[in-house]
Each structure stands twice: as structure tokens, then as C-alpha cells.
């Protein structure tokens, strides 16, 4: 049998990662800052160039790579029934970025190169990775949450992953929370969850907000807002487990965990008293492994579940 390879791209507001894998595991991973100048095709072409470099690095003929999974930060907008990126921290038509892009025709650009292309929101991809290889394997009613520069959700109800009309289900970081607040989100909302607690906010206020820790009352309030957002998800979806990742969570989960759980369980116990929270187990690779999971042949999965071929990359 000829060797079979799959590719993955993870597109974020600050970086793009390309990964190549075969049945035995991850062969190579390359990361670059996301390009934000040039024609509308720039990001799609950057993804293709990165995959070409990754193939070269792994000693693989690029022309044999036909299958690509993509995780990307949203929101998405359909163009001719194909996924386009309308991501505010990449597309500059409504902000200060050095381009006038409104919607990047990502799927169209990638389909010119690959016979199989599957694109999902990065939190949906992360949810699929954690349900296949991580902390919530086979869990039917679970939610992936990232708390980093943004707040995002991947939602699974009755074993079905929710997507919505434009594959934008899970943008609940933009749920409105506090109409007394003056905090503005990148989306333009005032007082939504992301405006109140995002990692970007923590960076901007680093001088006046030096320690995001349990002793800091503002940090405790942020933990409460986060818990309240999770409560709103539980009462909407009847979820059982949350699996949480992202840099803010990863660096603070020990003290955040009890506060967030307490906030969820402080309301409507009949719906909330049996929920549990776990930390994501695939760390910084969760979206990359998620993108691979989108296109992975099912017969690879048991071997990967046993051998965990991402372990070495996680500790680098």
C-alpha cells in the first residue's frame, strides 16, 4: 500500500501552524506569524506555502498530499456555499489592521489544491480532539471552552456537535453580560464575556493589573464572570462536562477551578449539581490535533489513542 499522509492547518489571529501526519503520528509542525498584508488570498496562500515547507521538512512529495483538515478562528461567512473567514483580528475592513479584507475565501483557495478539505471553528476542532484523544473521550454532553486572548466554545449535545447556519455555533464569548461595564470587545460589543475577561484585556492592563491571582479581587470577579457564562451554557444545553483550555486557564487553573465550579453550582442545583470541569489534556496542540482529527482515517484512531504520538511535541 502506498504511504498515506494527512495535513492540518490551524489559523489563529497571531499565528498559523501546519502539521503533517501519517498513521504512526505527527511528522512535522511549522509555525509562522499570520500575514495580514497583501491581496485577499494571502492567508490561504500562506497556509499552502507552509504545508509545502512542512512536506519538504518531512521528506514527503507535496503532490501526494490530498487531504487537509483546518481549524480556524471565526466567525465564518459562507461564499458560494464555501467557508470564508471574517475574523476581526485578521480581516481589517472594520478595524486598524493593514488590509481591507472583509471575508477571506479560504475554502475556495484550499480546494484548488486538495481533493478533501474540512474546515471547522478552532473550538469545534479542539472539542473533537478532546473527545477523540483527550479528557472527554466518548462524552455525549460536553463543552470545550478556551480562555485565552478570546473566549470560545465548542458544543456537543446528545453526542452531536453543534454547528449552526454558518458553522458559527459556540461564539458564546460574545454573550452580553454586564450593561454597566465600559469594556469593549474586539467584536464591538460592550460588556460581553470576552470584553470582561479576555487574555487580551489582561495584557493591555498588565501595568495596573500585575497579578492575575486568587488574592486579586478583580481576578476573582473575572473567574465569577467566566463561571456565570458556563452556567448560562449549562442551563441552555443541559451539559455534563466542561473541558477547558487556553493560556489564561492553563496558567491559573488550580485556583480558578473551584471558584468557577462554585459559581456554576450556586444557581439552579437541579440543573447544575452534577456538572464537572476538567482541564484540556492536549495543551497547545489541541487545535492542530483537532484539525487532523477532522480528516483522519478511523482506523488510525485506536493506535493514536494508545501511543499518544503528540507527547514529545507537547513538552518542547
CB 12 within 8 A of CB 199: no
Smallest distance, Å, CB 193 to Zn ion? 8
Among 187, 250, 257, 259, binds Zn ion (CB under 5 A): 187
Answer for which of 29, 77, 131, 174 binds Zn ion (CB under 5 A) is 174
Of 27, 26, 29, 23, nearest in space to 298 by CA: 23
The helix (run of H) or strand (run of E) holding residue 8 is: strand 6-11
Contact 48, 55 (CB under 8 A): no
Q: Does 185 bind Zn ion (CB under 5 A)?
A: yes
The secondary element (H helix, E strand) that includes residue 6 is strand 6-11
Cβ pair 237, 157 in contact under 8 A: yes
Supply the minimum distance, in Å, between the C-beta of residue 174 and Zn ion: 4
Binding of residue 177 to Zn ion (CB under 5 A)? no
Question: Between 120 and 159, how does the x/- string for binding to Zn ion read (CB under 5 A)?
Answer: ----------------------------------------
Does residue 275 belong to the site contacting Zn ion (CB under 5 A)?
no
Q: Tell me the number of residues near Zn ion by CB under 5 A.
A: 6
Using the rule CB under 5 A, is 184 a contact of Zn ion?
no
Give the residue with the Cβ less far from Zn ion, 141 or 192: 192
The Cα–Cα gap between 98 and 60 comes to: 35
Q: Please, which residues bridge with residue 269 across strands? A: none
Give whichever of 189 and 247 is closer to Zn ion, judged by the CB atom: 189
Strand 276-279 to strand 241-245: parallel, antiparallel, or no bridges (unpaired)?
parallel
With CB under 5 A as the contact rule, which of the stretches 81-89, 194-202, 233-241, 260-268 interacts with Zn ion?
A: 194-202
Cell of 89: 483580528
Q: Does 171 bind Zn ion (CB under 5 A)?
A: no
Judged by CB under 5 A, which of 107, 194, 263, 288 binds Zn ion?
194
Please identify, among the stretches 22-30, 148-156, 191-199, 299-307, the one whose residues bind Zn ion according to the rule CB under 5 A.
191-199
Region for 196 from its dihedrals, namely left if φ exceeds 0, alpha if ψ lies in -120 to 50, beta otherwise:
alpha
Cis peptide before 190 (omega within 30 of 0): no
- Please report, as ranges, the residues that interact with Zn ion according to CB under 5 A: 174, 185, 187, 189, 192, 194
Amino acid at each position: 500500500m502506498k504511504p498515506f499522509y494527512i495535513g492540518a492547518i490551524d489559523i489563529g489571529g497571531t499565528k498559523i501552524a501546519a502539521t503533517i501526519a501519517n498513521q504512526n503520528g505527527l511528522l512535522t509542525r511549522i509555525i509562522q506569524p499570520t500575514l495580514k498584508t497583501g491581496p485577499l488570498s494571502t492567508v490561504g496562500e500562506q497556509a499552502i506555502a507552509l504545508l509545502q515547507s512542512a512536506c519538504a521538512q518531512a521528506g514527503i512529495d507535496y503532490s501526494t498530499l490530498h487531504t487537509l483538515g483546518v481549524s480556524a478562528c471565526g466567525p465564518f461567512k459562507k461564499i458560494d456555499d464555501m467557508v470564508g473567514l471574517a475574523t476581526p483580528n485578521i480581516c481589517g475592513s472594520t478595524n486598524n489592521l493593514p488590509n481591507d479584507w472583509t471575508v477571506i475565501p479560504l475554502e475556495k483557495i484550499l480546494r484548488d489544491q486538495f481533493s478533501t478539505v474540512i474546515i471547522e471553528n478552532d473550538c469545534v476542532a479542539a472539542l473533537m480532539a478532546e473527545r477523540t484523544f483527550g479528557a472527554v473521550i466518548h462524552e455525549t454532553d460536553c463543552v470545550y471552552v478556551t480562555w485565552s486572548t478570546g473566549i470560545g466554545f465548542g458544543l456537543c449535545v446528545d453526542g452531536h456537535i453543534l454547528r449552526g447556519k454558518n458553522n458559527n455555533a459556540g461564539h458564546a464569548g460574545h454573550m452580553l453580560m454586564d450593561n454597566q461595564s465600559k469594556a469593549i470587545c474586539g467584536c464591538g460589543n460592550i460588556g460581553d464575556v470576552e470584553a470582561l475577561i479576555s487574555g487580551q484585556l489582561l495584557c493591555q492592563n498588565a501595568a495596573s493589573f500585575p497579578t492575575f491571582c486568587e488574592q486579586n479581587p478583580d481576578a476573582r470577579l473575572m473567574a465569577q464572570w467566566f463561571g456565570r457564562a458556563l452556567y448560562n451554557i449549562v442551563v441552555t444545553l443541559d451539559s455534563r462536562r466542561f473541558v477547558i483550555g487556553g493560556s489564561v486557564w492553563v496558567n491559573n487553573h488550580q485556583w480558578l477551578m473551584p471558584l468557577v465550579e462554585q459559581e456554576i453550582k450556586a444557581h439552579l442545583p437541579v440543573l447544575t449539581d452534577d456538572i464537572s470541569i476538567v482541564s484540556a489534556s492536549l495543551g497547545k496542540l489541541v487545535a492542530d490535533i483537532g484539525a487532523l482529527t477532522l480528516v483522519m482515517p478511523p482506523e488510525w484512531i485506536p493506535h493514536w489513542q494508545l501511543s499518544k504520538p503528540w507527547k514529545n511535541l507537547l513538552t518542547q
